[in-house]
Structure 1
Amino acid sequence: MRKYVASVLLVLGFVGFSQAVDQELVKKYDRMFSQFTQENLAKSPCRVTPKQVVEMIKKGEDVVLLDIRTDAEASIVGLTYKNSMHIPMDKLFNPENLKKIPRDKKVIVICHSGARAIAATFALRSAGFDNVYALKGGIAGLADYVTPKTTLGIK
């Protein structure tokens, strides 16, 4: 009898677990990620290297650096480039924050290592922001690349 009760509880536990999946959220993610086919990704590269960002700035391109790290991360090491803005990833899709993201300039999304930036970039692109790019390697990669030699010519 104990084995029977244990088996029933085990089955009910699995059924309860499988029903705990948020199906509406799964549908939203499916719609978002279904756009990222090989063909679409090849047509629209969305990553830039630290070297490319520095070259854009040197050339005087109107580029915005969007830091999506947490407030705590940004308070320790922050961006001081004149065209930078900070919107933490968990607040990025608030309507008032989306309005702050320029649509007429290149926007480079930056996090610590690049992982959150690529996810945020994919999400922003799927929402219609075609001008956003993720910084490969994040702020850590940028810090490794930036030296007096590489930034020569930046005012």
Structure 2
Amino acid sequence: MAIKKTTVSEVGKKVINKDPLFILDVRNEDDYKDWKIEGDSFEYNNTPYFDLIDSVDPIKDELPKDMDIVVVCAKGGSSQYVTEQLDEAGFENVYSLEGGMKAWSEHLEPVKVADLSDGGELYQFVRLGKGCLSYMVTSGGEAAVIDPTRMIETFTGFAEEKNVKIKHVLDTHLHADHISGGHAIAEKTGAPYWLPPKDAEDVEFDYNKLVDGEDLTIGSSKIHVQALYSPGHTIGSTSFIVDDQFLLTGDILFVESIGRPDLAGKADDWVSDLRDTLYNKYRNLSNELVVLPAHYMSNEEMNEDGSVGKKLATLQKENHGLNVADENEFKKMVTENLPPQPNSHQKIRETNMGKINPEQEEKREMEIGPNRCAIK
């Protein structure tokens, strides 16, 4: 009997389209509570695999007969066994998720954000299992990639599909929650790799210094990507203004929160920089700019088309982190309200510096789990 399977891409489209789906997650309860596949119209059951080895009878009455059921485990093995047992028990609409949560962690869903002036386009790559957001600006046969993840084939393949040549690769800061694909894409395409120099003092490779006011032009249609020094999450954090319409904020400002300043152990030192960026530099910008962050916390932040972003004017009203008048209260909020640090954050930083080069499987393990770049 052939076990029916589904892919992370198919599940990802259901998340974006808000389609119904029933998830049977057979990982341990702690792993499930820490991190799971999230969809606005999804329903769930978490029953550990070891409780189902002898029989699936304990959960038969808890599963729907009129919905597709996707069985999820860590790597895609245990889910196949449970799927087979459910099929034998009479469930016809049950599928095993290929690659499990490991594959889900790596999936990127491209979403078109907007048409830019003179024919350019802006795309957001949504890493649904990790909450990472990457970007590609295209214009006149050229492209710039911003905050790419290590799954570089997604970006190079997308560029080929759009018939554009990657001319620039940029990171808004030295990431600590995921491994950047910036340097690898630059090596593969020959494009320069841009990093803020204050974040790059210890990197082991050549890079172009991304400084305040740097203006890169993409293609013949002159889509400008202007750098704006905006420290606080890291000392080098740099935002980008794209086509005078969009503000790419990295991990400084999110739709429903603000960035944490402690991932390099410098929370007390950088909290004033964070406040200055949010309460001074950003307030001097046009409120009509659409904020596009490098991460999101939950699907509630998604727009109807699956993209993540809101006008700066809206965030100035609705985002609590932008509305704390007292500086001491702000400092207390930022330094005492922090979630656990990302898994393997120090090794991820060292990898992004080029100091270590783990094997592919270790890189996957380093990134497993939700993003934790925002304060609560």
**TM-score, normalisation: structure 2:** 0.27
CA 1:68–1:154 in structure 2 vs 1: closer, same or farther (change >3 Å)?
Answer: farther
Cα distance in 1 for partners of 2:13, 2:6 equals 11
**Residues 1:94 and 1:49: Cα distance change in structure 2 (over 3 Å):** closer
* 2:122 is equivalent to residue 122 of structure 1: no
Q: 1: distance between equivalents of 2:38 and 2:17?
A: 18
Post-superposition offset of 1:145: 0.6
Aligned to 1:52: 10
SS at match of 2:125: coil
Q: 1:108 to 1:94 in 2, by over 3 A?
A: closer
Whether contact under 8 Å (2:56, 2:86) holds in the other structure is no
Provide the rounded CA distance (Å) in 2 between the counterparts of 1:154 and 1:131.
26
Q: Aligned ranges for residues 2-81 of structure 1 at < 5 Å?
A: 36=1, 41=2, 46-81=4-39
Task: Provide the rounded CA distance (Å) in 2 between the counterparts of 1:77 and 1:141.
Answer: 14
SS of 1:109's equivalent? strand
Work out whether residues 27 and 48 of structure 2, in 8 Å CA contact, stay in contact via their aligned partners in 1.
yes
- Aligned residue in 1 for 2:49: 89
Would the alpha carbon gap of residues 98 and 116 (structure 1) be closer, same or farther in structure 2, given more than 3 Å must change? same
Match of 1:107 among 69, 84, 90: 69
User: C-alpha separation between the residues in 2 aligned to 1:95 and 1:122?
Assistant: 13
RMSD over equivalenced CA pairs, Å: 2.5
* Higher RCO by CA contacts (8 Å cutoff, separation 6 or greater): 1
Instruction: Report the counterpart of residue 149 of structure 1 in structure 2.
Output: 125
Which residue type is aligned with residue 68 of structure 1? V
Code of the aligned partner of 2:23: L
Instruction: Provide the C-alpha distance between the structure 2 equivalents of 1:95 and 1:130, rounded to a whole number of angstroms.
Output: 16
Amino acid paired to 1:54 = G
Query: Kindly, what percent of the aligned residue pairs are identical?
Result: 20
Write the distance in 1 (CA, Å) between the matches of 2:38 and 2:5.
21
- 2:98 and 2:11 map into 1 onto residues whose CA distance is 10
Give the match's secondary structure for 1:121: helix
User: Per the alignment, do residues 47 and 80 of structure 1 end up closer, same or farther by CA in structure 2, a change over 3 Å counting?
Assistant: same
Q: Alpha-carbon deviations, 1:1-54, whole Å to 9, x = none?
A: xxxxxxxxxxxxxxxxxxxxxxxxxxxxxxxxxxx2xxxx3xxx6111100111
Question: CA shift at 1:94, angstroms?
Answer: 5.5
Shift in alpha-carbon separation, 1:146–1:87, aligned structure 2, 3 A: farther
**8 Å contact 2:21–2:70 — kept in the other structure?**
yes
Cα displacement (A) at 1:146: 4.4
Tell me, in whole angstroms, the C-alpha distance in 2 between the residues paired with 1:59 and 1:79. 14
Query: Counterpart of 2:63 in structure 1: which amino acid?
Result: I
1:154 shift after superposition: 4.0
Q: Deviations over 1:111-153 (max 9, x none)?
A: 0000000111011101111111010010111111146624573
Q: State TM-score, norm by structure 1.
A: 0.62
Q: Which residue of 1 aligns with 2:262?
A: none
Q: Is the 8 A contact 2:23 2:45 kept in 1?
A: yes
Shift of 1:67: 0.5
Matched residue of 1:149: which SS?
A: strand
Contact 1:91–1:97 (Cα < 8 Å) also in 2: no
The whole-number CA distance in structure 1 between the counterparts of 2:79 and 2:9 is 17
In structure 1, distance between residues paired with 2:84 and 2:57: 17
In the alignment, the residues of structure 1 paired with residue 51 and residue 60 of structure 2 have an alpha-carbon distance, to the nearest angstrom, of 9
Instruction: Count the aligned residue pairs.
Output: 113
Shift of 1:75: 3.8
1:52/1:79 CA distance change after superposition, 3 Å: closer
Q: CA deviation at 1:80?
A: 4.2
Cα pair distance change 1:51/1:66, threshold 3 Å: same
The answer to whether the Cα contact below 8 Å between 2:25 and 2:72 also exists between their aligned partners in 1 is yes
2:75 partner SS:
coil
Q: CA deviation at 1:105?
A: 0.4
Structure ranking higher in strand proportion: 2
